[in-house]
Structure 1
């Protein structure tokens, strides 16, 4: 996947757990190990393409892609998509791209996928920015709520309607994009998997045990999360983004990119320069 310093959009044909995928990806070569971005539920790789506009990252290699069931990626069997499948898909994308070690950034569902990916192979990850990824049951209360209904209504429809009635930062923009960025057939299995992992996956301890620099980035609306003091006490850098909530990339992208760049710069100082794209 060599591309020099050009931004390249391409489709990667992969087979994961016996399922054919056509992954829509964007990447660029550059110095140092690449930054790998994993987007959240209902968003896409385009959440991160503004990296090309940021002077702090002008020489940095990066990779972002649409997860199976999302964006422009095609999946032959939407019903198999759950979080473990997304982790396996991420590993397959990295291997196809020829990426050895990398810096990791994941938001929401992408943050959860990134956490499990890093837990599986911590030796490949140089740093991890977790943007409001699921770490505890309190993080997926809206998802658990829509799954708890016993009527025959559609889970995805209820999720969107709940967002429509919400008042959080960027909730309207996010809600309007959901039907266009998520395949309906993947929603239920993803939701079930997220709730199961939040309840029984020991996610917080997995995050605390990771052996490289970590940041937990979140909007000010999420400042009451019960586990933030524990993260702080265990060496996780906290980054609270003003005027935002679950979607700081949408509500306050300038402050979000600034904190990402500052963290990356500190990590970069610890690692000898080497281009391994």
Structure 2
């Protein structure tokens, strides 16, 4: 298997200086696979890709989004979903990836959707792991309005406490680590833009119009999502992960990786 490196990419996005922490595997004859993590997660959610025999031959990229993990951002107030999409485009340019398969979870799925909508010719396939497509998807981000707080720290404490009490698979595990993975000052901009795009961005129409193979992955606890039949009717492959909720990479990673591998095999380039 090709070697991989942990790099710091010094970039400037929309006038903001970034030190982006990235894991990159450059070798491989097949097309690269790019992973965009969700809110409260980091690139490490996906680096097991490097040890999965099913993905041998694929270059790989995962990085910590601005405001998350080990990535440093000079102005956290500028972070939003459009800013994250611009960051993705800049990272891809920096590491010289032209065309790619993309896997995005939650916030990362929405970021990938915005990027793919703007540059569809660059994307070979898209695995969307519960990325926002409709207002109903804002179960975390809408708390910025349903549970308002004057101080960022107070809002974040409440968010973590509610996640810890949730009955969703792996939510307590998520809550235990999220405060160590996200800068408090980045939360409001991310959540407000997620809600605005989910309510007014016509995301489902954008997703259905994408001209390449798409998979929508969701935990069995979220099999009630209202738009699943419409996705299937428009040729989107549905992947329900058993014994899982919003975080299949924590609750059932074996099933998650298998479904991604099967999808990649069917779209082998």
Q: Does 1:6 align with 2:6?
A: no
Q: State the 1:164 CA deviation.
A: 1.6
Cα distance change of structure 1 residues 216 and 150 upon mapping to structure 2, 3 Å threshold:
closer
For 1:148 and 1:245, locate their aligned partners in 2 and report how far apart those are by CA, in whole Å: 22
Q: Does 1:210 align with 2:210?
A: yes
Map 1:181-260; keep pairs closer than 5 Å: 181-260=181-260
Q: 2:46 aligns with which of 33, 45, 48?
A: 48
Q: For residues 175-223 of structure 1, what are the alpha-carbon distances to aligned partners after superposition, in whole Å with 9 as ceiling and x for unaligned?
A: 0111100011100111100000000000000000000000000110110
- Could you tell me whether the CA contact under 8 Å between 2:41 and 2:181 is conserved in 1? yes
For 1:49 and 1:149, locate their aligned partners in 2 and report how far apart those are by CA, in whole Å: 34
For 1:250 and 1:91, locate their aligned partners in 2 and report how far apart those are by CA, in whole Å: 28
Q: How many residues align?
A: 266
Greater displacement, 158-167 / 214-223: 158-167
For 1:17 and 1:53, locate their aligned partners in 2 and report how far apart those are by CA, in whole Å: 35
Q: 1:74 aligns with which of 62, 72, 80?
A: 72
Counterpart of 1:149? 147
Counterpart of 1:108? 106
Cα distance change of structure 1 residues 212 and 166 upon mapping to structure 2, 3 Å threshold:
same
Q: State the 1:60 CA deviation.
A: 1.5
Counterpart of 1:274? none
- Could you tell me whether the CA contact under 8 Å between 1:219 and 1:243 is conserved in 2? yes
Structure number with higher relative contact order (C-alpha < 8 Å, ≥ 6 residues apart): 1
For 2:10 and 2:57, locate their aligned partners in 1 and report how far apart those are by CA, in whole Å: 28
For 1:179 and 1:151, locate their aligned partners in 2 and report how far apart those are by CA, in whole Å: 17
Counterpart of 1:36? 34
Q: 2:127 aligns with which of 126, 129, 132?
A: 129
For structure 1, the 5+ residue unaligned runs are: 272-277
Map 1:165-180; keep pairs closer than 5 Å: 165-180=165-180
- Aligned-partner SS, 1:141: coil
Counterpart of 1:275? none
- Aligned-partner SS, 2:20: strand
Q: Give the TM-score of the pair, scaled to structure 2.
A: 0.96
For 2:6 and 2:140, locate their aligned partners in 1 and report how far apart those are by CA, in whole Å: 34
- Could you tell me whether the CA contact under 8 Å between 1:34 and 1:61 is conserved in 2? yes
Q: Give the TM-score of the pair, scaled to structure 1.
A: 0.94
- Could you tell me whether the CA contact under 8 Å between 1:155 and 1:188 is conserved in 2? no
- Aligned-partner SS, 2:139: helix
